[in-house]
Amino acid sequence: METFLQFLFSGLTVGAVYAIVALGFTIIYNASDVINFAQGEFVMLGGMCTVFFSLWGLPLPVAAVAAVIVTSLIGVALNKLAIEPARGANVVTLIIITIGASIFLRGLAQVVFDKQFHRLPSFSGDAPIDVLGATLTPQSLWVMGGAAVIVVLLWYFFTRTTFGKSILATSHNRLAARLVGINVELVLLASFALSAATGALAGILVTPITLTSFDAGTMLALKGFAAAILGGMGNPLGAVVGGLLVGIAEAMGAGYLSSEYKDAVAFVIILAVLFVLPSGLFGRRGTERV
Amino acid sequence: MSLITFLKGTAAMAAVIALSAGWAAGEAAAQIKIGSVLSITGPASFLGDPAEKTLRMYVERLNEAGGVNGEPLELVIYDSEGDANKARTLATRLIEDDEIVAMVGGSTTGTTMAMSPLFEDAEIPFISLAGGIVIIDPVNPYVFKTPHTDRMACEKIYEDMQARGLSKVGLISGTGGFGKSMRGQCLDVADDYGIEVVADETYGPRDTDMTPQLTNIRNAADLQAVLNPGFGQGPAIVTKNFAQLGIDVPLYQSHGVASKSFIELAGAAAEGVRLPASALLVAEQLEEDDPQKQVVVDYKTAFEAEWNRPVSTFGGHAYDGLMILVEALRAAGNSDPEELRDTIEQTSGFMGTAGEVNMSPDDHMGLDLTAFRMLEIRDGDWTIVQ
């Protein structure tokens, strides 16, 4: 029982991060139909910027806020400089552009920062918390709590604010949204900024546990993508559930089966979902437009 | 650009080329050419970069002091980027075009193994800077190496466990090249030290959470110690997870994490962790009468003064390789590759940064367990376990 609980905690912590990354995918996908493979780099930038801002003498909370702002600006720049000029190109082209952007950002981080691993201090100490014989670090609570807060804020933003609703409207029908006076360019810009900001937050929360480096984003993007596919691309609830499920499946796989296949779990999930349930757990049924 | 400037430029360039060619031709006659293929960039740059800096610095120093046997050394360094195929091509170039008399290089076991048959065929001595035991076992007559092997690291750790009365060990190894190889060696020599491996878990090179594996290890019956072969960020995360789970047995790391960045990354969780490491890491802490102290302190001071960055054991391996070669050049009195090979094989009592080297026809490394020091992390710094 203790063992199971320990695996569960481990899975929930990692899964919460995947969930935030999957949410980032969802936000941009909803607004533009683009799957942004630079999503993992936002997570990396959040962590790395915070590390370096605090090395340059900023107190941790200030460094974290600055990192979120910088990452959002990079998200905006990505949209302005790479996605917008290619507007009208088909979705596959846009996706390839985001892969290029992710490689570029990784290279940039390597030059601007360095190639070493870095850590942040835990926000509230390292003393493990004992829960029914299993242990949890305070930082895990921060990660899970942070993910919950992000989910609630996003839910509020998308369902209770006009601007959030206009993003949803754009995702449903861009032409109609434009006709009712929604500034579609602004919506796209906002979705990239928002997605980058949530990614950066995930990076900041998780760096004290997992450490970070210029190439930490690649794996996270893949896992987050698996989570988004599992939950159903475009569904925020699906992203969260998918993230947690992938995390738990990984931890259980590593614990009960063999850790050799830990990373394979996520990819097996992608394949299985694509074969058996192409629209994911909560996805819209795919409709073919004629 | 006007025609005149263009012509002027061309003429100047031609003059430079002519001059440099003449200079090179004039010098080449009386030089000892040493080659080196290192992983200066790429994933193994942390190995090749300090090695390159070390070789350049010491060759310059030797030449300022009048060279070896009255002849200056010429160093030809190529960057393999950690790629075994590229290393092989570059080694061919060293042998055929540059006509070197000996090679000090090969940052990784992979690149070394790709290059060693070439040196055997060309009958040119090759001193490798990589760790794998396969480089010298079985012995290739022309291939030598300076770093200790991972097998020795296992033996050193087991020796320390024996001394503390620990025999039931849980293994958690990285699946990268280093972790995989060391795991194999540690399983292999366990019996010799009466060690019983009660759990054997692994983690991927990019894993960020090892609590499930460590939970399984914690559940193993009569666990007395945990050993983590691996390098990179993995061992730091293992150390943090280990502390989180509150496993109250000693944790041993490998020489793969013997750098300050490990302590920084693992933070408070690193307290009490033990690992075998080269004396270079604790140069200042060595006893005054330690025969190795002079060598490691000198190298450390020189490297840090020249490059303004902390010394690394991997640079130390390059120092050892170069100095073994220089001693052999001096002893042989000439730079005939065949004679050099024989003299390198007879190296004895050479004190390097990795320890005392005593080579023989069956042992092309010549180090013993005393080359390693057992360290414990206390108050965020290394201390030597007596």
DSSP B81-114: TT-HHHHHHHHHHHHHTS--SEEEE--SHHHHHH
What does pLDDT average to over chain A?
A: 88
Look at B274 and B371; give whichever has higher pLDDT: B274
Query: What is the pLDDT, as a whole number, of residue B26?
Result: 43
Distance between first and last Cα of chain A? 54
Exposure string for B275-291, b = 16+ CB within 10 A, e = fewer: bbbbbbbbbeebeeebe
Cβ distance of B209 and A119 shorter than 8 Å: no
Question: How many Cα neighbours within 13 Å face the side chain of A55?
Answer: 10
Q: What is the pTM of this model?
A: 0.79
Q: What does each C-alpha distance from A274 to A91, A290, B330 come to in angstroms?
A: 19, 23, 68
Specify the DSSP class assigned to residue B236: H
Dist CA B240 CA A169 (whole Å): 46
Of A6, A211, A254, the CB nearest to B236: A211
Exposure string for A195-230, b = 16+ CB within 10 A, e = fewer: bbbbbbbbbbbbbbbbbbbbbbbbbbbbbbbbbbbb
Dist CA A213 CA A264 (whole Å): 22
Q: Does residue B129 contact residue B51 with C-beta atoms inside 8 Å? A: yes
Complete DSSP assignment for B123-178: T--EEE----GGGTSSPPTTEEE-SPPHHHHHHHHHHHHHHTT--EEEEEEESSHH
- Write the burial class of residue B14 (CB in 10 Å: 0-12 exposed, 13-18 middle, 19+ buried): exposed
Q: Does residue B125 contact residue B102 with C-beta atoms inside 8 Å? A: yes
Tell me the nearest-neighbour CA distance from A196 into chain B, angstroms: 22
Q: A111-130 pLDDT, tens per residue?
A: 898 878 888 888 888 888 88
Beta-bridged to residue B32, according to DSSP, are: B73
Pairing assessment for the beta strands B274-278 and B372-378 based on DSSP bridges: antiparallel
Tell me the nearest-neighbour CA distance from A7 into chain B, angstroms: 5
Q: Count how many pairs of residues, chain A against chain B, have C-beta atoms within 8 Å.
A: 89
SS (H, E, C) chain A: CHHHHHHHHHHHHHHHHHHHHHHHHHHHHHHHCCCCCCHHHHHHHHHHHHHHHHHCCCCHHHHHHHHHHHHHHHHHHHHHHHHHHHCCCCHHHHHHHHHHHHHHHHHHHHHHCCCCCECCCCCCCCCCEEECCEEECHHHHHHHHHHHHHHHHHHHHHHHCHHHHHHHHHHHCHHHHHHCCCCHHHHHHHHHHHHHHHHHHHHHHHHHHHCECCCCHHHHHHHHHHHHHHHCCCCHHHHHHHHHHHHHHHHHHHHHCCHHHHHHHHHHHHHHHHHHCCCCCCCCCCCCCC
Q: B52-91 pLDDT, tens per residue?
A: 999 999 999 999 998 898 899 999 999 998 888 999 999 9
Which one-letter amino acid corresponds to residue A26?
T
Work out the angle at residue A194's Cα, subtended by the Cα atoms of residues A232 and A27, and round it to the nearest 5 degrees. 15
Beta-bridged to residue A131, according to DSSP, are: A134
Average pLDDT over residues B222-232: 89
Torsion of Cα atoms, B44 then B47 then B50 then B51, to 10°: -110
Beta-bridged to residue B59, according to DSSP, are: none
Output phi, psi for B197, to 5 deg.
-85, 110
Q: Residue B145 pLDDT more than 70?
A: yes
Q: How confident is the model at residue B5 (pLDDT cuts 50, 70, 90)?
A: low
Query: Which of helix, strand or coil describes residue B188?
Result: helix
Output phi, psi for A128, to 5 deg.
-65, 145
Tell me the nearest-neighbour CA distance from A127 into chain B, angstroms: 7
Radius of gyration of chain A (CA): 19
Query: What is the pLDDT, as a whole number, of residue B343?
Result: 93
Token output for A278: 């192409």
Q: List residues in chain A touching B: CB distance below 8 A.
A: 3, 6-7, 9-10, 13-14, 115-119, 121, 126, 128, 135-137, 206, 209-211, 213, 219, 251-252, 254-255, 258-260, 262-263
Dist CA A177 CA A166 (whole Å): 7
Cβ distance of B237 and A135 shorter than 8 Å: no
Dist CA B129 CA B144 (whole Å): 9
Q: Does residue B277 contact residue B255 with C-beta atoms inside 8 Å? A: yes
Question: How many Cα neighbours within 13 Å face the side chain of B162?
Answer: 12
Q: How confident is the model at residue B30 (pLDDT cuts 50, 70, 90)?
A: low
Cβ distance of A211 and B209 shorter than 8 Å: no
Rounded to whole angstroms, the maximal C-alpha distance in chain A is 60
Dist CA B112 CA B146 (whole Å): 12
Judging contacts by C-beta atoms under 8 Å, the chain B residues touching residue A115 are: 45
Query: What is the pLDDT, as a whole number, of residue B12?
Result: 58
Judging contacts by C-beta atoms under 8 Å, the chain A residues touching residue B212 are: 6-7, 10, 251-252, 254-255, 259
Residues 6 or more apart in contact with residue B230 via CB below 8 angstroms: B173, B174, B176, B178, B179, B182, B203, B238, B254, B256, B257
Judging contacts by C-beta atoms under 8 Å, the chain B residues touching residue A47 are: none
Query: What is the pLDDT, as a whole number, of residue B256?
Result: 81
Question: Which of these, B49, B32, B33, lies nearest to B41 by C-alpha position?
Answer: B49
Over chain A (290 residues), what is each successive 10-residue block's mean pLDDT? Answer: 87 93 90 88 94 92 95 94 85 90 92 86 85 86 93 89 87 85 88 93 91 87 90 86 92 82 80 82 60
Q: B179-207 pLDDT, tens per residue?
A: 888 899 999 999 999 999 999 998 887 78
Dist CA A242 CA A23 (whole Å): 10
Query: What is the pLDDT, as a whole number, of residue A241?
Result: 93
Look at B124 and A134; give whichever has higher pLDDT: B124
Task: Kindly state the percentage of chain B with pLDDT values over 70.
Answer: 92
Cβ distance of B245 and A6 shorter than 8 Å: yes
Dist CA B87 CA B107 (whole Å): 10
Q: How confident is the model at residue B23 (pLDDT cuts 50, 70, 90)?
A: very low
Dist CA B306 CA A129 (whole Å): 48
**Mutation target among B208, B231, B237 for the A interface, most CBs of A within 10 A:** B208
Query: What is the pLDDT, as a whole number, of residue A53?
Result: 94
Query: What is the pLDDT, as a whole number, of residue B10?
Result: 57
Average pLDDT over residues B271-296: 88
Token output for A23: 């949410």
B247: nearest CA in chain A? A135
Of B204, B207, B244, the CB nearest to A137: B244
Query: What is the pLDDT, as a whole number, of residue B333?
Result: 87
Token output for A277: 């349930």
CA atoms A195, A116, A118, A8: torsion sign: positive
Judging contacts by C-beta atoms under 8 Å, the chain A residues touching residue B205 are: none
Q: How confident is the model at residue B27 (pLDDT cuts 50, 70, 90)?
A: very low
Region of residue B102 (phi > 0: left; psi between -120 and 50: alpha; otherwise: beta) = beta
